[in-house]
Amino acid sequence: MEEKQIKQGVFIGLALACLFAFTWGFVSIVDELQENEIEQFDNGVFEIVRGSISPSLTTFMTSITFLGGVMGISIFTIIVVAILLILKKYPLAFFVVITITTGAGFNWLLKWIFKRERPDIEALIEQGGYSFPSGHSMSSFIFYGTLAFILFRALDYKRYKWGSVLVVGVMVFLIGISRVYLGVHYPSDILGGFTAGGAWLTLCIVIYAYFYKRRN
């Protein structure tokens, strides 16, 4: 078997495993949510994350949460797409735009389906709309995950490839924590956003890889 076929087989296997894992995770959270069995988890995480509120930490968390908001994601998406267009990576630029915009639409649909109200606690910032799944968590997972995918393919050395994945992972995690700290999301909203975003990103990557292969 050729090395190229082996790599394709590994990619397909990993993609299917990720898609199954993220989908199973989201369905499990929804199941717990509908049976009202997730309250203990939410309260426990709230106590840990919001147990040390301070002005300096609030400033930090507010800055971090901006990186996963509509404005932050939009600005960074425009920058990434512009760079890809300058480099004449047109299919990749199209992939970024479609993945981010459809991911945002998918999040809106999920929020409309579940219509979960936001936590009934003192929030540190104003935030409207429904709570589940977290838009910041889902959007940040999709956008920064997309960025990690691009960097992983573009960088030459493994330490840089995995370094970029690690940085992106920490960034996405902090954005999720910031939403709990600021009191605008339940921890289960964050997990719902991560799993839904992971499933959507995996699906988009698989579709991109399929058409990229056919094109080349």
**Which one is predicted more confidently, 215 or 133?**
133
SS3 content of the chain, % helix, strand, coil (to 5): 80, 0, 20
Q: In whole angstroms, how far apart are CA 17 and each of 33, 54, 55, 172?
A: 24, 41, 42, 21
Return the structure tokens found at 167.
Answer: 């940085």
CB 180 within 8 Å of CB 44: no
The whole-number pLDDT of residue 213 equals 65
Average pLDDT over residues 195-200: 96
pTM: 0.90
Return the structure tokens found at 176.
Answer: 């999720």
pLDDT tens readout for residues 59-86: 999 999 999 999 999 999 999 999 999 9
Q: How confident is the model at residue 3 (pLDDT cuts 50, 70, 90)?
A: low
Domain parsing of the chain, residue ranges: 3-215
Angle made by CA atoms 39, 40, 45, in degrees to the nearest 5:
100
CB 36 within 8 Å of CB 188: no
- Mean pLDDT estimate for the chain: 88
